[in-house]
């Protein structure tokens, strides 16, 4: 080899090395993914599923760490969106409820009893996510400055209380109910004659323990079972009054820093995480599909029959008939009417059409 070709070889090697270092330097050594509830929740498990899959598929190039229990926003769950947007948080698997103060369209799934009144509530939710109304919500999120990557699911929210079973509107009268600090929740519980108390999730368990409130509402598989809600509340009411889909999103500059191939990789992992998240939320409640899927990927949670588990732990489970649900639906009609304009007439109409097409 001539002296010239040796020098050329050394120079090419140096350039290759520099560009490899350059590519890595553009990526952070750790990306922070925010989750509001604790590490045992279905929600946090879905986030960890996504992070693990991304690590595996990217051969360790993209390292996402899940921060559960609202750590990244000091427990103030309704600040999460702003922190993601300004870059204090890189990724979030977030509830539509917690972002609804900033993005009014995200109140749609919180319209009381709108989805519960459909013949198949899971089909209706899937139709919204995949339909025109889902697209309007995604566009609203992206217009406000964060990148949407995929859906997930916290689950249909059911009542738990300490003061006796809830089977009619009358049973809620005067009860103090913990809710997220989001106006549609306050209005809904006032319409039902209850006394709603806004409280961050980070303080809620202490509130239940001390009896500051008489009840709360959260999904069964994802939150209530991992929390061992029977420790505080002996009554469960299966009224499916609303659902919080989860949004997997990234900070805009973080998203742009990924190569197109890695953006595709993240989107593919998000699709898998959506399936897992929905299966955790729907296990034992959807006629068997969730259970079969979780078995197929060898990720069955410990509790596979939430109703049996609650009863074994001394809870009284009230499973409402469609007629009983209708009485709650009727009592909350003024709330839905009041929120149509706030959420957006076109969005509400699109959701009605999406749900009707899925019947
Ligand atoms: O605060 C709640 O109830 C929770 C954990 O479900 C949400 O973050 C919406």
What pLDDT tens digit does each residue of the chain (359 aa) get? 555 555 655 545 544 444 444 444 589 999 999 999 999 999 999 999 999 999 999 999 999 999 999 999 999 999 999 999 999 999 999 999 999 999 999 999 999 999 999 999 999 999 999 999 999 999 999 999 999 999 999 999 999 999 999 999 999 999 999 999 999 999 999 999 999 999 999 999 999 999 999 999 999 999 999 999 999 999 999 999 999 999 999 999 999 999 999 999 999 999 999 999 999 999 999 999 999 999 999 999 999 999 999 999 999 999 999 999 999 999 999 999 999 999 999 999 999 999 999 98
How many whole angstroms from 17 Cα to the centroid of ligand 1? Answer: 47
Between CA 328 and CA 346 the distance in angstroms is 25
Between CA 243 and CA 155 the distance in angstroms is 5
Domains present along the chain, CATH in parentheses: 29-357 (3.40.190.170)
Q: Which atom of ligand 1 is nearest to the CA of 217?
A: 3
Identify whether the C-beta of residue 43 lies closer than 8 Å to the C-beta of residue 222.
Answer: yes
- The single residue listed with the structure tokens 């977030």 is 94
User: Residues near 348 by Cβ (< 8 Å), separated by ≥ 6?
Assistant: 108, 111, 340
Count of Cβ atoms closer than 10 Å to residue 86 Cβ: 10
Query: How many CA atoms within 13 Å lie on the side-chain side of 256?
Result: 6
Q: Which atom of ligand 1 is nearest to the CA of 41?
A: 5
Numbers of helices and strands, H then E, in the chain:
15, 9
For residue 306, give Cα distances in angstroms to 57, 186, 311.
33, 28, 9
- pTM (2 d.p.): 0.93
Q: Name which residue sits closest to atom 6 of ligand 1, judged by CA.
A: 218
Identify whether the C-beta of residue 144 lies closer than 8 Å to the C-beta of residue 85.
Answer: yes
How many whole angstroms from 157 Cα to the centroid of ligand 1? Answer: 10
Q: For residue 124, which phi and psi values (nearest 5 degrees)?
A: -65, -45
How many whole angstroms from 8 Cα to the centroid of ligand 1? Answer: 61
Cβ–ligand 1 distance for 151 under 6 Å, the answer no
């Amino acid at each position: 080899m001539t002296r010239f070709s040796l020098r050329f070889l050394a120079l090419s090697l140096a350039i290759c090395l520099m560009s490899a270092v350059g590519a890595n330097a553009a990526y952070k050594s750790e990306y922070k993914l925010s989750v509001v509830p604790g590490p045992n929740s279905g929600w946090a498990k879905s986030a960890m599923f996504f992070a693990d899959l991304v690590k595996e598929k990217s051969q360790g190039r993209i390292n996402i760490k899940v921060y559960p229990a609202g750590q990244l926003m000091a427990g103030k769950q309704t600040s999460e969106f702003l922190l993601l947007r300004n870059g204090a948080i890189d990724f979030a698997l977030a509830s539509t409820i917690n972002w609804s103060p900033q993005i009014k369209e995200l109140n749609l799934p919180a319209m009381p009893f709108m989805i519960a009144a459909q013949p198949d509530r899971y089909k209706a939710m899937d139709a919204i996510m995949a339909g025109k109304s889902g697209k309007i919500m995604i566009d609203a999120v992206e217009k406000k400055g964060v990148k949407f990557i995929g859906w997930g699911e916290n689950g249909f929210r059911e009542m738990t209380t300490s003061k006796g079973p809830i089977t009619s509107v009358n049973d809620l009268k005067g009860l103090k109910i913990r809710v997220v600090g989001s106006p549609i929740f306050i209005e809904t519980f006032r319409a039902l004659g209850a006394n709603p108390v806004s409280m961050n999730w980070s303080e809620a368990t202490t509130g239940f323990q001390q009896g500051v409130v008489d009840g709360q509402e959260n999904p069964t598989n994802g939150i209530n079972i991992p929390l061992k809600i029977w420790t505080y509340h002996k009554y469960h009411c299966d009224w499916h009054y609303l659902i919080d889909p989860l949004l997997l999103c990234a900070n805009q500059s973080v998203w742009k820093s990924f190569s197109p191939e890695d953006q595709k990789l993240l989107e593919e992992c998000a699709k898998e995480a959506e399936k897992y998240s929905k299966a955790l939320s729907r296990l034992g409640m959807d006629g068997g599909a969730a259970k079969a899927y979780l078995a197929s990927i060898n990720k069955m949670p410990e509790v596979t029959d939430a109703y049996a588990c609650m009863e074994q732990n001394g809870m009284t489970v009230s499973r409402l008939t469609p007629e009983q649900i209708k009485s709650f639906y009727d009592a909350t009609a003024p709330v839905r009417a009041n929120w149509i304009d706030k959420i957006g007439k076109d969005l509400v109409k699109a959701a009605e059409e999406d749900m009707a097409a899925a019947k």
